[in-house]
Amino acid sequence: MDAETVPQPAPEPESEPERHPVDQLLPPTRLALLGLQHVLVMYTGCVTVPLVFGAAAHLGVSTVGLLINADLVVAGLITLIQALGVGKVLGVRLPIVAGATFTAVTPMILIAGQYGMAAVYGSMILAGVFGLIVAAPFARAVRFFPPLVSGSVITVIGLSLIGVAAGLIAGNDSTAKGYGAPSHLALAAGIILFILGVNRFGRGIVTQLAVLLGLAAGTLVAVPMGLTDFSSVGGARWFGLPGLFHFGAPAFPAAAVISMCVVMLVIFTESTADMLAVGEMTGRPLSTGDLARGLAADGLSGILGGAMNAFMDTAFAQNVGLVGMTRIRSRYVTAVAGGLLVLLGLIPKLGEIVASLPGPVVGAAGLVMFATVTAVGINTLRTVRFEGTDNLLIVAVSLGVGMLPVVAPSIYQGMPQWFQTIAGSAITSATLTAFGLNLLFHHTGFGRSRIPATLTPAAAPTAAPTATPTAASADAPTAVGMDQA
């Protein structure tokens, strides 16, 4: 038979390339349940930020409820952007859940006291614009924020907020009749013991929900004690959109804007470690462009938060831990979580319920979360090389300068107001000190040694209470999802 007439086998159809696990779309039911799991894990940390800020700024229950709803909506929108992306501009396109960060709480309280609420949200908007501008340069310059800097700042963040938790538990006026009531202290102690018990004896997802369960149990105990007042819940609507500029036209005092811009850099440090960790554990390492788009979404949270009376967001470390624990790498799971957060934020009645939680209950949960932030900062500093370097001095001076306005709130009262706003924030002053000293000793040849700041090749990203630690890239500074606490 002629070779040309020999029938040839039909070519096999080309199979479609297998999707990366990050891009896989799971069945709807499973997708919904896994998304809800992410919401439950981060919910306490997210709503605690407006609760703590609202109490410190002496806002009414209804106003705090409004902040909670706006907080959830913005967190949901940023989570959707991080998971799905917006062109080549925004979003890291990884299973990231965003939420309000404790990093901004202390500066916001300070700005509210000195300039008013309009300045809080005006400075947040400009800090968000600043974040959009510097996202790409920051992604290329993460080496200037090593664990030496981030660990010092994280430690100060946690320590500076413990006083706020104490105020929620005992009261803020030591001369008041009910200050430090034994019943309040006993309730707070019981909640802390409950959270410890859940973490010690719980398994799997239950330990991730320890603080949320502690809030629920503490509220139930507070009812017969007469510490709860949910009278305002009945008048709240079932559905409603968060309003814009609730506190009036935004104001932009220069010192407040500078302080919030420094906070944005700290938020970038937090998110960088968590994004790199998720990229590593999902098998999709990040490029500089990927990281820049993820950080730009954090910057956008400042603009949205400022307009909607919410808060700036960061990647939540407890959800990073959940990705590692479940091994579910689909970004569509966290996209569903983002959608659920938006829906929860559209229910004013729910925000009013959360805003009505008793102070000792919120304070006890906050104490655990803030102290955990401090412990994470200390753990971050364990990766720093101290022998033969000036790093111990850098940490010591950064902690000392950062804690001055905490232990002596009126120490700068003789200085100009702009100086009080910047230096009076523990987080801002600690960040500027640690960053400046790190540059001086490690990038100018002034220090005794050019030994790298890190001792170990990898550092764990920040973890909120009950979060599962995960390994981050060696180039990533360790940070907390203050979530991340």
pLDDT value of residue 131: 95
Boundaries of every domain in the chain: 23-174+227-358+371-442
Q: What is the C-alpha separation between 469 and 458, in angstroms, rounded? A: 12
**What three-state secondary structure class fits 207?**
helix
Predicted confidence at residue 469, as pLDDT, reads 37
Cα gap 215→358, rounded to integer Å: 10
Measured at the CA of 379, the angle between CA 373 and CA 383, to 5 degrees, comes to 140
Question: Helix 117-139 crosses helix 254-281 at what angle (to 10 degrees)?
Answer: 50
Residue type, 172: N
**CA 438, CA 398: separation in Å to the nearest integer?**
10
Is residue 475 scored above 50 in pLDDT?
no
- The pLDDT of residue 326 is above 60: yes
Non-local (6+) Cβ contacts of 129 within 8 A are 299, 302, 303
Q: Which tops the pLDDT comparison, 404 or 454? A: 404
- Which is it for the CA torsion 119, 64, 75, 265, positive or negative? positive
Instruction: Give the CA radius of gyration of the chain.
Output: 23
The confidence band for 207, taking pLDDT boundaries of 50, 70 and 90, is: confident
Average pLDDT over the chain reads 82
For 418-472, what is each residue's pLDDT tens digit?
888 888 888 888 888 998 999 888 887 766 655 555 554 333 333 334 433 333 3
> Which comes out higher in pLDDT, residue 152 or 372?
152
Range name among 176-180, 368-372, 404-408 with the lowest pLDDT average: 176-180
Residue type, 117: M
Q: Using CA atoms, how far apart are residues 29 and 389, in angstroms rounded to an integer?
A: 54
- Whether pLDDT at 395 is above 70: yes
Task: Confirm if 94 and 338 have CB atoms less than 8 A apart.
Answer: no
Q: Which of 22-36, 391-405, 459-473 has the lowest mean pLDDT?
A: 459-473
The pLDDT score that the predictor gives to residue 181 is: 83
- pLDDT for 386 equals 87
- Assign 474 a pLDDT band (cuts: 50, 70, 90): very low
The band of 137, judged by pLDDT with boundaries at 50, 70 and 90, is: very high
Over residues 127-136, the mean pLDDT reads 95
Alpha-carbon distance of 458 to 474, in angstroms, equals 4
| Of 124, 405, 157, the residue nearest 256 (C-alpha) | 124
Measured distance CA(366)–CA(475) in Å, rounded: 31
CA distance 280 to 92: 13
Question: Phi/psi at 265 (nearest 5 deg)?
Answer: -65, -40
Backbone angles phi, psi at 454, to 5 degrees: -90, 140
Distance of CA 291 to the CA centre of its chain: 17
User: Looking at residues 303-321, what average pLDDT do you find?
Assistant: 87
Helices of type H across 282-425: 288-308, 317-326, 331-345, 348-355, 359-381, 391-407, 417-423
Rounded distance between C-alpha atoms, residue 369 and residue 454, angstroms: 26
Q: State the Cα–Cα distance between residues 351 and 347, nearest whole angstrom.
A: 7
| 430 SS3 class | helix
Q: What is the mean pLDDT of residues 226-240?
A: 76
Would you say 92 and 294 are in contact if contact means Cβ atoms under 8 Å apart? yes
Collapse the DSSP code of 114 into the 3-class scheme (helix H, G, I; strand E, B; otherwise coil) and give the result. Answer: helix
Q: How far is CA 96 from CA 74, 330, 416, 434, 461, in A?
A: 14, 10, 41, 28, 13
For residue 231 the two structure tokens come to: 């009278």
At which residue do the structure tokens 């806002």 appear?
59
Residue-level pLDDT at 454? 54
Confidence bin at 477 (pLDDT 50/70/90): very low
Q: Using 50, 70 and 90 to split pLDDT, how confident is the model at 484?
A: very low
Residue 451 near residue 434, CB atoms below 8 Å: no
What is the mean pLDDT of the segment spanning 76-83?
Answer: 94
Q: pTM for the complete prediction?
A: 0.78
Does residue 454 sit in helix, strand or coil? strand
- Can you say whether residue 87 is alpha, beta or left, with left for phi > 0 and alpha for psi between -120 and 50 degrees? left
Q: What is the pLDDT of residue 479?
A: 38
**pLDDT-derived band of residue 9, with 50, 70 and 90 as boundaries?**
low
**Is the Cβ–Cβ distance between 128 and 299 less than 8 Å?**
yes
318-341 average pLDDT score: 82
Residue 294: is its pLDDT beyond 70?
A: yes
Closest CA to 260 of 156, 77, 122: 122
How far is residue 241's CA from residue 55's CA, in Å, rounded to a whole number?
23
101 confidence band (pLDDT: 50, 70, 90): confident
Does residue 323 have a pLDDT over 60?
yes
